[in-house]
Amino acid sequence: MQTLTIEAVTPDTAFALRDALSGFRAELRVTEDGRSYVKVTLGQSDLEIVEVLNAIEAYVTQRAAGLAGGERIALNGRKYALHVLPPLS
């Protein structure tokens, strides 16, 4: 099993991300110090990883603000950033 973890800037963003990933095994966690995370448990399929990343991209694009203030994404401990690119002309 692989785990994709998104550290959200705000609890509202975490709830929205969890909702955007409701078609997957996504759960919301809030630490004692108030940090919010969405964790998605992935199977072994590369296709599932791509589908989750596509769902995150769709959410980010819909918000049209990059990662809405600095959320961090990690897959099995490796950190990534997702940025919205302007549409091709």
- Digitized pLDDT (tens) for each residue of the chain, 89 residues in all: 788 898 887 888 889 999 999 999 999 999 999 899 999 999 878 899 889 988 988 887 777 555 545 567 887 788 877 665 666 66
Question: Residue 20: what pLDDT?
Answer: 92
Helical ranges in the chain per DSSP H:
11-20, 46-63
Question: Residue 62: what pLDDT?
Answer: 77
Question: Residue 86: what pLDDT?
Answer: 62
What CATH number is associated with residue 43? 3.30.70.2880
- The answer to whether position 86 is within a domain reads no
Structural domain boundaries enclosing 24? 2-80
Residue 61 sits at the vertex; the CA angle it makes with 35 and 77, to the nearest 5 degrees, is 40
- The answer to whether position 89 is within a domain reads no
- The answer to whether position 20 is within a domain reads yes
CB 1 within 8 A of CB 75: no
- The answer to whether position 61 is within a domain reads yes
